[in-house]
Amino acid sequence: MPDDRGNPASGCIWINGSKKGEVLNVEIGKIKTHNIGYTKYRGSTGAFPSYLEPSAIGEVFKVVKIIDDKVIWNDKLSIPIKPMIGVVGLAPEFESRSNAWAGEWGGNFDIQEITSGATVQIPINHDGSLLHIGDMHAIQGDGEICGGGGIETGGTVMLKCKSEKISNFMKWPRIINDEYIMTTAQGKPAEDAFRIALSEMLLWLENDYGIDKKEGYMLLAQILEARVTQFVNPT
C-alpha cells in the first residue's frame, strides 16, 4: 500500500439521534480478520533508538498468513492473534485531522483493549457524531514501534452505538470492559499524556463513584496500571 494511503478507515458514519455535547458509546462486538496481514518499518519512527542509525535496519516489509487464529511469522514461530481496532474517532470540532493522529476526538488510539467486549466513550463534537473506524490489527505490541504497525489486516467488526448525556468534566475518550475502567490521553512529552489521563481518572472516580480526589489519588497509587500503547505518531 502506498505511504499516502495507509491507516484506512470507514467513515464518516452518521449515528441517528446523537447530538453535539453528548458522549457516544461505541461497543465493539465480534472482530473477524482476513487471512493475510502485513507489517512495515519505514526506516524511521519516533520510537527508534537515537543512538542507532535508521539505516541499521532500513525499510523492511513482511507479509504473513493468519491461519487458525495464529499469525504465521515463520516456519518455527506463530503468534496467537489478539484482534483489535486501532482507529475509533469522531469528527473534531473545528478542523480536519489526519486519522493517523489522535486527540480529544479519539482517532488513532492503537490501544489493545479496544477489542471485542470493550466500549469506547468519546465526546461528540457534531450532531450525528460522524464516526470513523478502522486500522484493524491481528495483534500489536505496546508502542506500535514499527509505525507500519502491528499485523495490519482487513476484516469485519460488529458495532453497537448509543449516545447519552455527558458529565461536564469529561474531555478525553474513555474505555470500559468487564475488568477495567480506562482513561486515554495523547501528548508530548509522554509525561504530559500520563498526567492528562491521571487527571481524567481522578475526575471520573469523583463524579461517578463518589471517591474524592485526595482519596482517589491515594487509591490509584496502589492499583493504577499505565502503558504507552502508541509511540510513533505526532501525538
Cβ contacts of residue 151 below 8 Å, gap of 6+?
37, 38, 39, 64, 66, 71, 81, 137, 138, 139, 140
How confident is the model over 96-108, as pLDDT tens digits?
A: 888 888 999 999 9
Distance (Å, rounded) from C-alpha 73 to C-alpha 165?
45
Rounded Cα gap, residues 104 and 223, in angstroms = 25
CATH class of the domain at 3-175: mainly beta
Per the structure block, which three cell numbers stand in for 167?
458529565
pLDDT tens track for 175-225: 999 999 999 999 888 899 999 999 999 999 999 999 999 999 999 999 999
- Percentage of the chain exceeding pLDDT 70: 89
Count H helices and E strands in the chain, helices first.
2, 13
